[in-house]
Amino acid sequence: MGKSCTMCGIMSGTSRDGADVAIVKISGDFPSNKIQQLYAETFGYPPWLKSLLLTPLKDLTVEDVSGLDFLLGEIYAEYALRAIQSAGLQPRDVEAIGSHGQTLLHLPGGRKLGEREVRSTLQAGSGPVIAQKTGVTTVSDFRSADMAAGGEGAPLVPVYDYAVLRSSKKSRLALNVGGIANLTAIPRKAKMEDVIAFDTGPGNCMIDSALRLRSGDASAFDRDGALARVGETDQECVDEVLSHPYFAREFPKTTGWEEFGEDHTRGLVEAMARRGRSTRDMVRTFTEITGLTIANAIEDFILPKMSVDEVIVTGGGSRNSMLMGLIKKRLPEIPVDIGEAYGIDSDAKEACAFAYLAYLHLEGIPANIVSQAAGLEPALLGSVSHPAP
């Protein structure tokens, strides 16, 4: 690929509200690559698409799912081309696009199908469509290879965190709070096999779902935690969510929409409404749950194994000062700050990571470092689609 290259990354997360696109320049040798963000932009899905993506999967037909795959491929191609142009580049200047896709289903625990137990994952956003529409080689479907090797299929970002944040002097914890919250713990002077990473539980997904269910607005979210700040906590709901078996599971582990999405949140919202709780109380409660489950994960699974000198928070949750305050309150001895304090764009980090994952695929470098640390086989993540010559 040469000494340096320009890559594009596209990330759409559990919140199902849009996609982040980043253009990065990558140079150097793995795992000491230099990754420089050149441009980033967030594209919100139009309301009709948000509504469609929030439709329970059981209510979609096979034709709907097939159509979504191609539709999102077209939309991601449009977003990528717009970002490339805004960066002052042409598609020919970009070596490849790495697209996570929109997760429709993720079942690392498996489901009975016929006479077999089958583990599976499904991300919509056709790689061949993106490649044909942009004229740029595209790497997509990153989760499947790790699951085929016995892994959870997520989180996938730790290899990027390791490349960007490891330090000879500091033990760092990278925390990304999107729809789901995940962390990567990188001890001082860490080798790749020393990295610990897993999903802590809900990030913004339950907060956003509660607001959508109460307001009917697919784009509703609690800007800077303003509603949560004036609400009261429903402790009964907190206790119910914290009793979920996911939180007691040992890592590596991953979770998602299936466990903490709108269907799960709806029952909790209805129960709180029967107890006379207001929307602001519900938002406060789910914000508390997010903060508690993040802090509990750090205290229960990370601190017994390593000291933590710094917590670096990215994702939409890093913009919620109420949530950030809850995390800092629970971890008073550890500095907690947003990505920008470390030169990281908090909104674009995961898009940058998928640009890097595409680079690693094209270089033939297995990137499932969490699974490898757990003794599983290395896996080359992603599938490549080439445009017409």
Does 274 or 2 have the greater pLDDT score?
Answer: 274
Instruction: Decide: 30 and 360 in contact? Cβ < 8 Å.
Output: yes
pLDDT tier, 1 (very low <50, low <70, confident <90, very high otherwise): low
Is the pLDDT at 42 greater than 80? The verdict is: yes
pLDDT tier, 219 (very low <50, low <70, confident <90, very high otherwise): low
Q: What is the pLDDT of residues 46-80, one digit of tens each?
A: 999 998 998 988 999 999 999 999 999 999 999 99
CA-closest candidate to residue 141, choices 120, 126, 119: 126
Q: What is the pLDDT of residues 200-217, one digit of tens each?
A: 999 999 999 999 999 887
Could you identify the residue written with the tokens 């998602």?
256
According to the model, what pLDDT value does residue 296 have?
97
For residue 317, give every residue at least 6 positions away whose Cβ sits within 8 Å of its Cβ, in sequence order, or none. 177, 178, 181, 203, 204, 290, 323, 324
Q: What is the DSSP letter of 14?
A: T
Instruction: Decide: 41 and 82 in contact? Cβ < 8 Å.
Output: yes
Identify residue 282 by its one-letter amino acid code.
M
Domains and CATH numbers, the chain: 4-152+370-385 (3.30.420.40), 158-342 (3.30.420.40)
Model's pTM, two decimal places? 0.95
Mean predicted confidence (pLDDT) in 324-341 = 97
For residue 247, give every residue at least 6 positions away whose Cβ sits within 8 Å of its Cβ, in sequence order, or none. 201, 293, 296, 297
Mean predicted confidence (pLDDT) in 321-348 = 96
d(CA 111, CA 120): 8
Q: What is the SS3 assignment for 345?
A: coil
Q: What is the pLDDT of residues 134-181, one digit of tens each?
A: 999 999 999 999 999 999 999 999 999 999 999 999 999 999 999 999
Q: What is the pLDDT of residues 96-120, one digit of tens each?
A: 999 999 999 999 999 999 999 999 9
Residue 197: CB atoms within 10 Å: 27
Q: What is the pLDDT of residues 278-318, one digit of tens each?
A: 999 999 999 999 999 999 999 999 999 999 999 999 999 99
According to the model, what pLDDT value does residue 2 have?
52
Could you identify the residue written with the tokens 């602001």?
280
**Edge-to-edge strand list for the sheet holding 138-140:** 34-44, 18-27, 4-11, 96-99, 138-140, 383-385
According to the model, what pLDDT value does residue 389 have?
86
Cα–Cα separations (whole angstroms), residue 82 to 18, 106, 137, 363: 14, 29, 17, 26
